[in-house]
């Protein structure tokens, strides 16, 4: 099955492709001539995911899915949350974002946090959403060179290493995005059973 993933982030594309496994070919909007920045202006993760999927659907006419992910830190009242990609600047500078996060947590003992991903799928004129989360804590310093975003400072529950230190196959088995993508894959696999039922919404 060929799917459009409404993202220009190659890291996300590669990660989703690994999680989905064989049987899926992921395309990006740029593969269809859409090179402009995909908007994410809503105040919730679900809102952003839906906005991005609707934007790509409008400009390409093709079914697609999009995701939005946020890191929610307990001691910061859920920040950076929906602003995770633009926490320090408006330019998706994750080095600056991570540095600001660690600065804001200086001297803070409670470092509990969770990653949440919401996927919005537009298929045959209907909208479906899928959510995944992983809980853990923020490390004292950045460590590791794998992954992207806040991975160097997030230690998932049950582990002592950050996402950026763990092998990709381990992260892709336990991550927030993995859970959401697996729900998407199960839905797509069984989609033939559900056609014609507009009440379905993936959870």
List residues with catalytic annotation: 68
Burial (Cβ within 10 Å: 0-12, 13-18, ≥19) of residue 167 = exposed
Please report the sign of the dihedral spanned by the C-alpha atoms of residue 155, residue 160, residue 165, residue 171: negative
**Cα first-last separation, the chain:** 22
Look-up of token digits 């540095």: 99
Give the span between the Cα atoms of 187 and 203, in whole angstroms. Answer: 10
Give the span between the Cα atoms of 152 and 148, in whole angstroms. Answer: 8
């Amino acid at each position: 099955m060929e799917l459009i993933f409404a993202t220009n982030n190659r890291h996300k594309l590669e990660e989703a492709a690994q999680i989905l496994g064989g049987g899926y070919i992921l395309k990006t909007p740029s593969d269809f001539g859409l090179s402009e920045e995909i908007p994410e202006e809503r105040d919730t993760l679900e809102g952003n995911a839906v906005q991005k999927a609707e934007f790509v659907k409008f400009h390409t006419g093709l079914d697609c899915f999009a995701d939005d992910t946020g890191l929610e830190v307990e001691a910061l009242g859920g920040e950076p949350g929906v602003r995770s990609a633009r926490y320090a600047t408006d330019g998706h500078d994750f080095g600056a974002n991570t540095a600001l996060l660690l600065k804001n947590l200086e001297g803070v003992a409670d470092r509990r946090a969770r990653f949440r991903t919401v996927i919005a799928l537009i298929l045959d004129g209907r909208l479906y959403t899928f959510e995944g989360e992983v809980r853990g804590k923020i490390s004292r310093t950045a460590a590791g060179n794998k992954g992207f975003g806040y991975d160097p400072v997030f230690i998932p529950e049950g582990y002592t290493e950050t996402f950026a230190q763990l092998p990709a196959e381990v992260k892709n088995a336990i991550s927030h995005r993995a859970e959401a993508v697996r729900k998407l894959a199960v839905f797509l696999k069984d989609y033939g059973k559900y056609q014609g039922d507009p009440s379905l919404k993936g959870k």
